[in-house]
């Protein structure tokens, strides 16, 4: 018959193995780590230049900004002075990382530690990934009516995809 100490000795490696298998299963089901960048509309007031800049960022290569409008409280729509398209490349690199830590306090002493972190399922260290990020900015003149009720104004962008489907995105124009 096994005594209590022997039984506990067998449970600890089995529990560790089960935890390791669970972590591997969760990591395998996590999916692609390159999440799609969400399309976002923002607006900024540039008082010095007397302009409102509206930007659509996170555009996919197949998407286009069909129109921009500055919309007032009376639903009057203003056209932009100009549009600016920009692209830049964002890069990531997967490498193992090393961390240094210290735990404890004055009464218990300090316990130094060293950790090594790496992706369990991605052994292609040093591989870099790049992604082109696109944005379109529209520049509007600040209308005289804006000063009376700035909180009632917003920008509106119509974004289309290759199928022709379009969607409107709105963003408030801050008064700062």
For 91-105, write each residue's pLDDT tens digit. Answer: 666 666 767 776 666
Closest CA to 55 of 155, 150, 165: 155
* Band of residue 34 on the pLDDT scale cut at 50, 70, 90: very low
pTM beyond 0.75: the answer is no
End-to-end CA distance of the chain: 78
The answer on pLDDT for 137 being more than 60 is yes
Q: Tell me the domain boundaries of the chain.
A: 39-98+127-176
Q: Note the pLDDT of residue 125.
A: 58
H/E stretch holding 10: helix 4-29
Q: Answer positive or negative: Cα dihedral of 12, 16, 21, 22.
A: positive
- CATH for 39-98+127-176 is 2.60.40
> How many whole angstroms from its chain centre is CA 54?
19
**Residue 57 CB: number of other CB atoms within 10 A?**
16
């Amino acid at each position: 018959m096994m005594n209590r100490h022997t039984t506990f000795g067998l449970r600890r490696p089995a529990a560790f193995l089960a935890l390791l298998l669970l972590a591997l299963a969760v990591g395998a089901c996590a999916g692609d780590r390159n999440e799609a960048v969400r399309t976002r509309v923002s607006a900024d007031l540039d008082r010095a230049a007397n302009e409102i800049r509206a930007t659509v960022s996170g555009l996919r290569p197949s998407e286009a900004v069909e129109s921009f409008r500055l919309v007032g409280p009376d639903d009057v729509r203003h056209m932009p002075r100009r549009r600016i398209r920009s692209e830049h490349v964002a890069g990531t690199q997967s490498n193992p990382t090393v961390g240094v830590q210290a735990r404890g306090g004055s009464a218990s002493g300090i316990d130094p530690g060293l950790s090594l972190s790496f992706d369990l399922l991605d052994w292609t260290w040093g591989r870099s990934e790049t992604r082109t990020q696109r944005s379109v900015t529209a520049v509007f003149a600040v209308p005289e009516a804006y000063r009376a009720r700035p909180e009632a104004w917003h920008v509106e962008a119509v974004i289309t995809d290759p199928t022709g489907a379009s969607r409107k995105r709105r963003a408030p124009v801050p008064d700062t």
